[in-house]
Amino acid sequence: MNSEVLSKPFLAEKPKEVDAYIKSMLEKNVTPPEYHGAYWRPGYTCHDLLRYNWTQYRNCKYYYRYYGRYYY
């Protein structure tokens, strides 16, 4: 079991990087796109995407900050 756990990548939240990204995108007035990946499910939060892909997590956090809701 330990080798199975260790074989998966560890994706940290990196809140400072996420906040800097969100700030820069808001300053540029960039509208976040709708989600087009394969991992989003009803009832998920952005944190659920972190187990799959950090960039999707970051984009979800921006989407949530911009619209005040999660993806549909």
pLDDT value of residue 22: 97
Given a cut of 60, whether residue 44 has pLDDT beyond it is yes
| Predicted TM-score of the model (pTM) | 0.83
Give the other-Cβ count within 10 Å of 62's Cβ: 22
Q: How confident is the model at residue 64 (pLDDT cuts 50, 70, 90)?
A: very high
pLDDT value of residue 24: 98
How much is the average pLDDT of 43-61? 96
Q: Domain residue spans in the chain? A: 13-67
Q: How confident is the model at residue 61 (pLDDT cuts 50, 70, 90)?
A: very high
Task: Calculate the CA dihedral of residues 64, 20, 8, 3 and round it to 10 degrees.
Answer: -130
